[in-house]
Amino acid sequence: MKRIKLITMLSLVVITSVVMVGCTSNGVLDQTIEAQIKQDWQEQFDAALSTVNYYGTHNGYVAFFRPGENAVVTNIEVAGTLFEYGYNWTIYLWKDGSFYNMIDAYEQGLLTAADIRKIGKIHAKFVKK
């Protein structure tokens, strides 16, 4: 009986660890995951990704903000949440070597409206910096 409890406990620890992979308890992206994202970006887009502005991990997808270079105010609304920034920009999702922009991820059902609201709150804090 003790062995079954131990196996169950260990299984729960492993499942929790898998769900939380990619972030730490303080909301900082794990350096190994960040390096993998940068490597995948380089391979897929033949361009360097200098920084990953981490917006959390949602449904196993790592969200990050990538500012553009043109001074064009860009506002978008996704799932009733408004996102604003003074330059063109995109919020990307990454998982298992694949990238999605946030709008496509939501439309494909990879993110829920609740995920979008969480990302929106993080984005609002980032924009105020």
Contact 56, 27 (CB under 8 A): yes
Q: Which two tokens stand for residue 52?
A: 């990953």
| 66: nearest Cα among 55, 82, 57 | 55
Left if phi > 0, otherwise alpha if psi is -120 to 50, otherwise beta: which for 60? left
pLDDT tens, residue order, the chain (129 aa) = 555 443 444 333 333 333 334 444 457 899 999 999 999 999 999 999 988 899 999 999 999 988 777 667 778 889 988 888 877 788 999 999 999 999 999 999 999 999 999 999 998 888 776
Structural domain boundaries in the chain: 2-128
Query: pTM of the predicted model, to two decimals?
Result: 0.74
Q: Which two tokens stand for residue 24?
A: 């730490």
